[in-house]
Structure formats: C-alpha cells, structure tokens
Amino acid sequence: MSTSTQRTSRATAVAPAPAEPRRSQEKGLWAFRLLILWLFVVSIAPLLWVMRMSLASAGDIGRAPLELLFAPVTVEAWGRVLSDKTFLATLLNSVIIATTTTLVCMVIGSLAAYAFARFKFRGSNVALVLMLMVSFFPQVAVIIPLFKQFVAWGIINNYPAAIIPNIVFSLPTTIFVLTVFFREIPHSLEEAAKIDGATQLQTFTRVMLPLAVPGLLTAAILTFVNSWNDYLFANTFLFDAKTWTATVQIPQFATQYSIDYGAQAAGALAVTIPLVLVVMIFQRNIVSGLTSGAVKG
Amino acid sequence: MTSTATLHRPRRIKESRALPYLLIAPAVAIVAAVVIWPVVQTVWLSLYSGTIRNTGDFVGVENYQTLFADPDFLRALSNTGVFTVCSVAVELVLGVAVALIINRGFRGRGLVRAVTLVPWAFPTAISAIMFRLMFSDPNGLLSWVAYKLNLISQPILGSQDLMVVAAVIVDIWKTTPFVALLILAGLQTIPGDTLEAAAMDGAGAVQRFFRIVLPLLVPSILIAALFRTLDAYRVYELFWVMGNRQVDSLSTYVYEGVRVSQLQFPTGSAASVFVFITAFIIALFFVIALGARRNKA
C-alpha cells in the first residue's frame, strides 16, 4: 500500500483525516458542521427558551410552545422581578457572600499552596491529600453538626454561616490550581530576591504573588462561581430573605408567584446572565483551572 | 529589600522550618473545624436518639436499623444509585464525543468552546428551575415534545420515575461540558505522530480511535468518572428543587432530617454517616483503579 499519498497536511493533534475521495470528505465536513451546530444549539437552547418565556405575558406563557414562540414580546415579568425589593436584596446577599468567600479563600489558599509548592516538610503529602479529598466529600454529611455549631457560635442565619462552608469546599480547587501555578514559577526569581535580602514572606508577597496573578484569577473565578451557585449551605443555614442568596430565593418564587412562570424565568436569568458573561470572558482561565488537575493529577 | 541581606539571615533559617506549617495552618484548621470534627460528631450523634437541640440517649445501631427499614430511605438510595450510574455513564460517552469534536480545528472553535461552558456555569438550583418550567405540564417545551412523540402519557413532574429521568437529563445537559474539558485535556497530550503513523499503516479512523486514542484516554476518563460519580452521588438541588420535594435523593433525605422533621433527626444522622462511608468507598475504588493503571504504565 502506498503510504506517501495518505499523509495529509492537517495538523490537528487527533485523527488527522486520511485522504479520501473528495466527495465523501465533503460529506464528512457537512456532518461535522452539523455536529458543531447541534452542540451549539443544545448548550444554549434552554437559556434562549427561558428567555422567550420571560418575555411573554402571563396569558401567553401557558400556551403551546409554537404559539408561545410567536406571541408578542413584553417585559412585564422582568418589571415584576426587578422591582421586587426582596429579590434585589437576595442578589446583594449573593454578591456579598460570594465575594467574601473568594477573598478569604484566596488568602488561605495561596498561603497553603505556597507551602506545598516550595517547601519540603514532614506531613506535606498527607496534608495535601487531605485537602484534595475535601472536594469529594458529600456536604450533607456535615450539615447536622455544623448547624449545631453555628447555633452555638451565634452565626446561624448570618452571612458567615454560608461563607465558612463555602470557603472550605472551594479550598481544594484553589490550593490545587495555585500549587500547580507556583511550581511553574522558576526558582531563580526567588533566589534573586533572597540574595537581595528579602525574607521568605517578603519573597512570597512581593515576588510570587505578583507573578501568580493569572493563577489567582483562575482560582478566584472558580471559587466565585462555586460560591454563587451554592444552594445546600445557604438553604440550610440561612432562614429568610434577609440573609439568603438569590439561588435560594428564586425557587421560592415558585410558591410566592405560584403560577407566574414569567417571573421565575426572568429571575432565573437575572441570576445567571452575569455568570454566563464571566464565563465567556474568562473562558481560558476556567478551562486551564478545571483541567490542571486532570493533566498533572 | 536591597542591601540589608546579612541582617536577616540568622532569623530566616529559624523561620523557614516553621514557616510551611504556619502557611498551611489556616487551611488545615478550617478544614478540621468544618469537615473532620463534624464528621466525628455525626458518627457519634448517629448512635444517639436525639434531636437538633439535645443529644438524647445512647441507642447503639438502632438508628441504622430504623434507617434500613425505612422505605423512604431505600427509595432515596435507589433513586440516587440510578441517577448516578445513568448520568455518569451517558456523560462520559458524550464527553468523549464532544472532546473529539472541539479538539478539531475549525472556524469559530473558541465560540463553541465558550458556549459549551454555559451549562456548566449555571447554578444547579437555577437549572432545576429552568427545566422545571420546561417540564411543566402540558405545555412546557420538553413535556410538549415528549407528548407529541408519544414518549409519555402522564405529567413528568407527577411521577417519581419520570422525575429521576428528568434529573438525569438535566445533569447530562449541565455537566457534559465539564467532562468534555477533562477529556479534552487528556486528548491534547496524545502525540500526533502516533496517530499519523497508525494512519500510514492503514488504520482507519474508527480503528485509530478504539486501538490508540481510547486506551490513552483511560486515565482522563477515570478522573472524570471519579469527579462526576461523587458529585452525582451527592445530588441535592435537582431533586429538591426540580422534583419539588416529592422525590428524594440521599442528600434531600438527610436534609429533611435536619431541617424539616425533628422526628427524623436520628435516622438523618445515620443516613449522613451512610452517605459519607459509601462516598469514601467509591472514591477509594477509583483511586485504586487509577493507581493500578499508573503502575502498569
């Protein structure tokens, strides 16, 4: 079999297509384009459909899908949701809880990651494995004692009751992403700082941290998304709309606006759209953060 | 920090021995307080006949006997099992397919990649709401289609079995992108030459996939399976929010014991210990499988 003609110039890492008769290649290309289109549509269709629902009047929303699709557009439901003070307050709670979680998690996580990346010390492996095990931990197994603990500390139904567990369950990813990142920073830079007389803590804050900004950004985004999306802790440790997050509030719409599907749809989108934008903008960071474990693991 | 080197040197040596422990101390402390100590407490509580307020009397394994005789618990267990196995199996197959698609070079690849991340970024509770709207009877988009195709003859959200199927569908939609990303990372480490050589030797695309690509992907697939299995096993929002409290998973069963029914508190504790131990066994299974592969390689 003559192999020289089989080489193709496509430089994809996987499955370089062997030269085939042109017609079947063209067909394959179309099938491929259809697959891409399908992927695109499936990913985004629920979002678009709920968007359509949120823009329909209360009367139209219960109609069959084809009628709903061509029903007149109205922003009534959005008006109801965005003028709902309770909802806006829970949105603010979400921002406060997710931001605080992210900041604290970055501080605790970067310190620990620096230790794991740069020091040889007894018990470091045990501690690292312990940290990473937390990401597999079923959260419900601790809500009972935590509930009692938070009552005893007087923080039940208060922001810290959601922030503290959120920090803990974001720590594994943070530590992992940052440890991998710190390890890739060349030692020579720290040596130089040392020669210049910097203490180890100074080396960390003035040399390592600035260099690790992309890694910190990745870890921060993942933590923020994780905390923003938390439902179990907010729903367990926070009791009312004064403290609970938008993620908990929106399902309440189902009872509050019992058949107002439009408000539910608009509320769901209001909570999600900022997040979708963050994901689109920081796509690269998220991908690198999510996969750093898989490759190095 | 320029020329004061000698001043700091003696102190630095002492500092560096304790420093790594100081650096990891906050992370270890918070994990110990929020995960490790509460687990110990849960185990202890599960042997007592208490409520959230007082501990009650020591009853040994009686709570566990009540637990395993409770049809609601058994139903929650089988729901969780079916949900976990089905969703993870489909997600792995689809994840490999999507990874293969995204890995090929094509115009608009960045956009498609970003869009496939959209479902991942959705708060699970919000996707539960959005899909509940689409599963509503009879004119929710998905219900409507299912009726038209004669797939269902009763409201989806009125049947326990159909609700589990619905939860599987939402989970597949939401987390296939994550699985695809992990597998894509593995895919990109496969050297292009290997595949090219195989192509030259006359291996077709299908053969190349099953003989070369898939075996090399096994570690990535195992890691994805580990993450996804443990995440699916603790499913909470998809049952609690979308199933509107009519259908239990293990996590919602535990939650009911803590926050809803005081009578269920002791069995709730026993159930959370059960969830913790079984999750640990599942994790161990995957870690051993991964270890075995690494030793072989």
Could you tell me the domains of chain A?
21-76 (no CATH), 79-296 (1.10.3720.10)
pLDDT of residue B154: 86
User: At residue A131, what are phi and psi to the nearest 5 degrees?
Assistant: -60, -45
Q: Which of A165, A171, A157 is nearest to A232 (CA)?
A: A165
Residue at A91: amino acid letter: L
**Is the Cβ of A242 closer than 8 Å to some Cβ of chain B?**
no
Query: What whole-number distance in Å separates Cα of residue A120 and Cα of residue A168?
Result: 24
Does any domain span residue B36?
no
Q: What size, in residues, is chain B?
A: 297
Chain A residues in contact with B52 by the CB 8 A cut-off are 144, 147-148
Q: What is the CATH number of the domain that holds B101?
A: 1.10.3720.10
The answer to whether B100 contacts A15, with C-beta atoms less than 8 Å apart, is yes
| Residues in chain A, pLDDT under 70 | 1-24, 254-259, 292-297
Q: How much is the average pLDDT of B249-270?
A: 82
Q: Could you say which of B6, B23, B118 has the minimum Cβ distance to residue A279?
A: B118
Query: What whole-number distance in Å separates Cα of residue A85 and Cα of residue B139?
Result: 31
Run of H or E residues at A240: none
User: Which of A24, A27, A55, A136 is most worth mutating to test chain B (most B CB atoms within 10 A of its CB)?
Assistant: A136
User: Which of B45, B100, B111, B130 is most worth mutating to test chain A (most A CB atoms within 10 A of its CB)?
Assistant: B130
Does any domain span residue B49?
no
Structure tokens at A91: 């949105």
Query: What whole-number distance in Å separates Cα of residue B177 and Cα of residue B291?
Result: 26
Does any domain span residue B22?
no
Domain that holds residue B101: 70-296
Query: What whole-number distance in Å separates Cα of residue A294 and Cα of residue B185?
Result: 7
How many other C-beta atoms are found inside a 10 Å radius of the C-beta of residue A15? 23
Q: What is the 3-state secondary structure (H, E, C) of chain B?
A: CCCCHHHHHHHHHHHHHHHHHHHHHHHHHHHHHHHHHHHHHHHHHCCECCCCCCCCCECCCHHHHHHHHCHHHHHHHHHHHHHHHHHHHHHHHHHHHHHHHHHCCCCCHHHHHHHHHHHHHCCHHHHHHHHHHHCCCCCCHHHHHHHHCCCCCCCHHHCHHHHHHHHHHHHHHHHHHHHHHHHHHHHCCCCHHHHHHHHHCCCCHHHHHHHHHHHHHHHHHHHHHHHHHHHHHCCCHHHHHHCCCCCCCHHHHHHHHHHHCHHHHHHHHHHHHHHHHHHHHHHHHHHHHHHHHHHHC
Does any domain span residue B50?
no
Closest CA of chain B from A241, distance in Å = 16
Number of domains in chain B: 1
Q: Is the peptide bond before B38 cis (omega within 30 degrees of 0)?
A: no
Please provide the average confidence, as pLDDT, over all residues in chain B.
Answer: 85
Does any domain span residue B4?
no
* pLDDT band at residue B15 under the 50/70/90 scheme: low
pLDDT of residue B296: 66
The model's pLDDT over A185-206, given as tens digits with 9 standing for 90+, comes to 888 888 888 888 888 778 888 8
Chain A residues in contact with B121 by the CB 8 A cut-off are 225, 272, 275-276, 278-279
User: Which of A1, A3, A6, A14 is most worth mutating to test chain B (most B CB atoms within 10 A of its CB)?
Assistant: A14
The model's pLDDT over A83-140, given as tens digits with 9 standing for 90+, comes to 889 899 999 999 999 999 999 999 999 999 999 998 888 888 889 888 888 888 899 8
